[in-house]
Structure 1
Amino acid sequence: MKTLKQFFLLSILLALVLTSCAKDEKTEASMLIYGGTIYTLDDTQETVEAVAVKGDTILFAGTLAGAEKFKGESTELLDLQGKTMTPGLIEGHGHFMGLGYNEISLDLLGTTSYQAIIVAVEERVKTSQPGEWITGRGWHQSKWDSLPEDLVKGFQTHFKLSEVSPDNPVYLSHASGHAGFANAKAMEVAGLTGLYKEGLGAYQVEGGEIILDAGGRPTGIFNERAQTVITKHIPEKTAETDRQAFDLAVKASHRNGITSFHDAGIGRETIALFDAMQAEGKMDVRIYAMLTGWDKELLNEWYSKGIRVDPENRFTIRSVKLNCDGALGSRGAWLLEPYTDRPDHFGHETLPMEFVKETAFNGLRNGFQVCAHAIGDRANREILDRYGLAMNEVKDKTENHRFRIEHAQHLHPDDIPRFAELGVIPAMQAVHMSSDRPWAIDRLGEKRIKEGAYMWQDLLKSGVPIVNGTDVPVEPINPIASFYASISRKTLKGLPEGGYEPDQKMTRPQALKSYTLDAAYGAFEEDIKGSIEVGKLADFTIYNQDLMTVPEDKVLDTKVVMTIFDGKIVFKAED
């Protein structure tokens, strides 16, 4: 009996030891971060001294003493050395493969004149074979320091471009993606050798236009859906270049502190590519994807099988992207009143509103979020109207729908409160204000600018969150530029003093939240990301200085020095 009792006691002691070891192993942090200012976006504690991580999950956020309880022999210690950390930043509206391909093709975002485009193409011609297509993106005539003399409807003509590229078809997308610029060889390939009509004007294409000169010849500018006249002739991308672009986009995201990315419109091929990248363990940015609304067959397939919320939190599909008007720079944004600098023009309805209504119904019935591109005030109003019709008819499906309007740049004052009334989220890219505001007043006039352009604070006060971003590759993916624009309402050159329409500035907490927790909310992901809280994903962005407290004129000096994704350091800047 005594032997049996001793055996029983030894068994209990052994079980306690094993349980204790298992507990220690379970709670030992894989990484402990401390030594700097850590902003949590958690209302219960604005900042913390330290964060403990286990694997891909936040284990603890609080005092350094509390975090050290999770330190073990294998815990990686990361001393911030006075630097600042926030939750991993979320690009709230961009084009992931566009980001990657922009790193491969001609990047024209930094060009400040027509001549700069000519020089860039001329250099590329030297390394290209005759007949090889040259493509690029990023030019914006309204941002040039000077304009050429032979403008037609506010755009340059192709003749100088064609002179330096006689044997290579060239197509250069506008920064907005809503217009393109072709040389003579590209138009020849497309069969545009004849005259369309006499007199200065534009040849209308459904949902777009081809700009013509006084003799009826194409100038090389293709607006909105007319771009397909040229783009359908550009050779398709290859599997090899797709993979290269994907890898470059991941690296560019990490360099800029981006750990999650709302991809605004993808089709079958991109879905297949992303699936392959995830299967190969290369999906190192969390992608929240919107299905392209151009492919109705694709939408119907997904309505049938339902949303896909990835349990690995890498690649989720649960929304639809609709492109409903154009951009302001190309005068494609759909307006209630004509353009101030083109009184005969209202922009373009690039997608029938009947289809917007149909998609809103289908989205509600099948659990898909609808995200509609709208820049002009009429496009925004028409979309809000269609969303409202769908919500009234499918009332039992409207709870937590989180429909969005992408850009929501120019609103009629009467429509601003409707976002909150309908529960519609504006996904707005603050850096567009910085880039566009100096010339946008020419398009819209002072009254429309002041009453309805980039109305961040009015929308926030009405009770809706704002999802921030850059619309990369329309703008560089740099989140610091968008943060600066959010809080200053200035150009990236620091003008004007006091900012444009300063009453619409975001506060710094609002701006940071728009890139983290509110962006996560815009993708139904606020429970797993967007703030530094126990149980959430271990995605962090680390900066060289405290962007929440440095003087405004020093904010643009902020650099991302480290990015942590899934509990691992994926980017570290050189000293």
Structure 2
Amino acid sequence: MLLKKLIKPLILASLCASSSYTLAQTKVIYNANGYTPLYKGEVQQFSTLVIKDGKVVKVGGDTLKNSYPDAKLIDVQGSTLLPGLIDAHGHVIGLGDNLSQLDVRGAKSVDEVTNKLKIFANNKQGWIIGRGWNQELWADTRFPTAKDLDKVVNDRPVVLSRVDSHAIWANSKALELAGITAQTKAPEGGEIIKDEFGNPTGIFVDKAESLITQHMPEASKQDISDSLDAAGKHLLSLGITSTHDAGIDKATWEVYKERSELGNLPVRIVAMLSGASPDLNTMLKAGRYQDANSFMSIRSVKVYADGALGSRGAALIEDYADRTGHHGLMLETQEKLEALFTQSFKRGFSAHTHAIGDKANKVVLDAYEKVFKKTGGILLRNRIEHAQIVTLEDIPRFKKLKIIPSMQPVHATSDMHMAEQRLTEKQLSGAYAWQSFLQQGSIIAAGSDYPVELANPFYGLYSAITRMDHNQLPKNGWRASEVLSREDALRAFTLGGAYAAHQEFKIGSLEQGKWADFILIDKDYFKIPIDEIYETNVLQTWIAGIKRYEKEKNIIDK
């Protein structure tokens, strides 16, 4: 036992010493087709990148490497080199969990879901957890029922999250264990879908989800750590060097700080405390957290204002076009939002608020404006996460109130057909309005909202540039006036995310003194036909001048 206690610190010391040597060595990456947006300027092209102590020394032309005769030379053989991509809105542990749970994303029918469930259940004990169903992809777009799941699994609880995480589908065993009956009432901000006889069907929307999920087994710290590693490995393979984690609980907060202190986080993480956590005040009192190497930053709170469009939980000013009399769900009142903002600002934390519907965006903007006048906090780089459906009158308020629109381009191409059914032309006038935000001077922080959407940032870049699906439809793009240029899209996935995290002088571009986070890809992002952008493959991913991922051995070290 004593030997084990001695060995672990020795191994850690050895690893740290090795890592320090790797960081200290000067490296010259050359023969690159390099591009980097500049913090103040256009995109710069280069062929050589010089790295020292994990940071950028200089970028330049072919002859630059001659100035560093003692450096380690790395010939990248003409590969395109970009700054590491930043996903400004994801769910890290959710992604890691999803990689080991039942995945029914893309299923075209209830039968396809239950067939996958049947196979999965054969090798799984206890609760069966999964996600990804989307009734909008089915011929019958009505919500499914517990009875559909019961046909396959009726002896164990089954809980499947909708693709957007704003509704769950549970079997009868789960309802039984949770004590759900016809008399059960949904909490404020939630809905229990019931049949014509008033019986719960097995679908729970937004805050009603907790009626079921509170009975699910809690993840251990080791479970969380394992999910972090699984997610990190996946993100690195996609060229993501930094990600913002939109809402963490206390256990995850503890794991993140522990892993940060050990220096073994797989990617850079900017974590938002969950505003719905009962431990929020405890975490706020501990103060903001930032490690020395910019791998972990905790300085914001994720607040939830409404639901999602797919489950008709997004809060709208006027009726849903396809559900008369229904306006969606506000998860918090304006007063509660103001209280959460005030609580956050007083501790120096910014507030990043989920708002999808136009009513939710208006209420959130009203709440920010009111609290700014009373408490301050306007300079904390507060954000609205998603900002999907905003009235034309409210778009300029983002700029006035210095609110960052944190948006996920792939949502537009995933939602476009559904949005046309759910919303009127008036409601769509300010929907997914990236170019409108950009033109008024707002800085867009782009992300994916993984695992709601796939984490691949090249899907997001493609959606931002085309507003088309992967079959290049609709022709010329959906509501094409809101497309972004290739440069602006890349900036949103790099410097935009960095700025939103107060890190624009540390990451987001390959400029002198910043961390050397970069990727090598198999296509020239700026020159290939637009329909090839989403097919881009990442060859290597580097963080702080250290190679963290390699797809294949195509690079020659000298």
Matches within 5 A, 1:217-228: 217-228=199-210
1:79-94 alignment to 2 at 5 Å?
Answer: 79-94=75-90
> Is the contact made by 1:60 and 1:67 (CA closer than 8 Å) also made in structure 2?
no
1:347 to 305, 308, 328: 328
Alignment of 1:282-321 (within 5 A): 282-295=264-277, 297-298=279-280, 300-321=281-302
Deviations 1:371-422 (A, max 9, x none): 0000000000011111111222235x53x32110000000011001111111
Q: Distance in 2 between matches of 1:317 and 1:270?
A: 12
Range with greater deviation from structure 2 (182-191 or 424-433): 182-191
For the structure 1 residues 66 and 128, does the alpha-carbon distance in structure 2 shift closer, same or farther, using more than 3 Å as the test?
Answer: closer
- For residues 20-67 of structure 1, the C-alpha deviation after alignment (integer angstroms, 9 at most, x for no partner) is xxxxx9998532112232111122761112101113111111123123
Give CA deviations for 1:198-231 in whole Å, capped at 9, x if unaligned. Answer: xxxxx54321111111222221111001111111
Do the aligned residues in 2 keep the contact of 1:29 with 1:59 (CA within 8 Å)? no
Higher alpha-carbon deviation: 103-112 or 465-474: 103-112
- Equivalent position of 1:470 in the other structure: 448
Quote the offset at 1:306 in angstroms.
3.1
CA contact (8 A) 1:419 1:426 kept: yes
The alignment status of 1:55 with 2:53, answered yes or no, reads yes
Compare 335-344 and 489-498 and name the one that shifted more.
489-498
Residues 22 and 546, structure 2, Cα contact 8 Å, conserved in 1: no
Name 1:418's counterpart in structure 2: 397
Counterpart of 1:86 in structure 2: which amino acid?
L
When residues 494 and 26 of structure 1 are mapped into structure 2, their CA distance, relative to the original with a 3 A threshold, is: closer
The 8 Å contact of residues 332 and 348 in structure 1, kept in 2 or not, is answered as yes
- Tell me, yes or no, if the aligned pair for 1:57 and 1:535 is still in contact at 8 Å: yes
> 1:61–1:67: 8 Å Cα contact kept in structure 2?
no
Q: 2:166 aligns with which of 160, 172, 178?
A: 178
Q: Does 1:383 align with 2:359?
A: no
Does residue 240 of structure 2 align to residue 261 of structure 1? no
Helix, strand or coil for the counterpart of 2:156? coil
The answer on whether the counterparts of 2:23 and 2:54 sit within 8 Å (CA) in structure 1 is no
CA separation of 1:30 and 1:114: change in aligned 2, threshold 3 A: farther
Structure 2, gaps ≥5 residues long: 1-20, 554-558
Q: What's the secondary structure of 1:564's corresponding residue?
A: strand
> What are structure 1's unaligned runs of at least 5 residues?
1-24, 198-202
- Aligned mates of 1:71, 1:510 — CA distance in 2: 37
**Counterpart pick for 1:273 among 255, 263, 266:** 255
CA contact under 8 A between 1:563 and 1:572: conserved in structure 2? yes
- Cα distance in 2 for residues equivalent to 1:325 and 1:383: 10
After superposition, the C-alpha distances for 1:107-159 in whole angstroms (9 at most, x for unaligned) are 22232222221111100121133xx1100011111133x22xxx6xx312222
Q: 1:571 aligns with which of 536, 542, 549?
A: 549
Select which of 385, 388, 391 maps to 1:409.
388
Name the CA distance, whole Å, in 2 between partners of 1:174 and 1:268: 24
Larger radius of gyration: 1
Between 1:39-48 and 1:385-394, the stretch displaced more is 39-48
| 1:460 counterpart residue number | 438
TM-score for both structures, normalised by structure 2 = 0.91
1:215 aligned residue (182, 193, 197): 197
Instruction: Classify 1:538/1:215 alpha carbon distance in 2 versus 1 (closer, same or farther; 3 Å).
Output: same
SS where residue 413 of structure 1 aligns? coil
Find out whether 1:529 has 2:507 as its counterpart. Answer: yes
Q: Are positions 1:142 and 2:136 aligned together?
A: yes
Do the aligned residues in 2 keep the contact of 1:225 with 1:350 (CA within 8 Å)? Answer: yes
CA distance in 2, matches of 1:41, 1:238: 41
CA-CA distance at 1:327 after TM superposition: 0.3
Q: Distance in 2 between matches of 1:157 and 1:88?
A: 43
2: CA distance between counterparts of 1:206 and 1:394? 28
In structure 2, which of residues 56, 66, 69 is the aligned counterpart of residue 68 of structure 1?
A: 66
> 2:421 is matched with which residue?
442
Describe the SS at the equivalent of 2:150.
helix
CA contact (8 A) 2:221 2:251 kept: no
Q: For the residues of structure 2 that align with 1:354 and 1:492, how far apart are their CA atoms?
A: 43
> Distance between the aligned counterparts of 2:128 and 2:360, measured in 1?
33
CA apart distance, 1:302: 4.5
Q: 2:91 aligns with which of 84, 95, 115?
A: 95
Distance 2:386 2:540 in 1: 29
C-alpha distance in 1, partners of 2:123/2:215?
21
- In structure 1, the residue corresponding to 2:445 is in which secondary structure? coil
Question: 2:521 is matched with which residue?
Answer: 543
Identity of aligned residues (%): 38
Give the equivalent residue in structure 2 for 1:35. 31
Amino acid corresponding to residue 61 of structure 1 in structure 2: V
- CA shift for structure 1 position 242: 2.0
CA displacement at 1:234 relative to structure 2: 1.0
236 and 306 in structure 1: CA distance in 2 versus 1, 3 angstrom threshold: closer
Q: Is residue 338 from structure 1 mapped to residue 338 from structure 2 by the alignment?
A: no
- 5 Å-filtered alignment, 1:146-165, equals 146-147=139-140, 154-165=142-153
Structure 1 residues 231 and 105: alpha-carbon distance in aligned structure 2, compared to 1, 3 A threshold: same
CA drift of 1:186 comes to 1.1
Task: Give the residue type in structure 2 aligned to 1:333.
Answer: A
1:84, 1:542 within 8 Å by CA — same for their partners in 2? Answer: yes
1:273-301 C-alpha deviation (Å, 9 max, x unpaired)? 11222233321211111111013542x33
Contact 2:23 2:544 in 1 (8 A): no
User: Size of the alignment, in residue pairs?
Assistant: 531
Q: Distance in 2 between matches of 1:349 and 1:209?
A: 11
- TM-score scaled by structure 1? 0.89
Separation in structure 1 between the aligned mates of residue 134 and residue 293 of structure 2, nearest angstrom: 39
Pick one of 531, 536, 545 that aligns with 1:553: 531
Residue 374 and residue 182 in structure 1: after superposition, are their counterparts in 2 closer, same or farther (change >3 A)? same
* Cα distance in 1 between the residues matched to 2:67 and 2:268: 30
Q: Retained in 1: the 8 A contact 2:316–2:357?
A: yes
Hey, what's the Cα distance between the residues in 1 that align with 2:121 and 2:330? 36
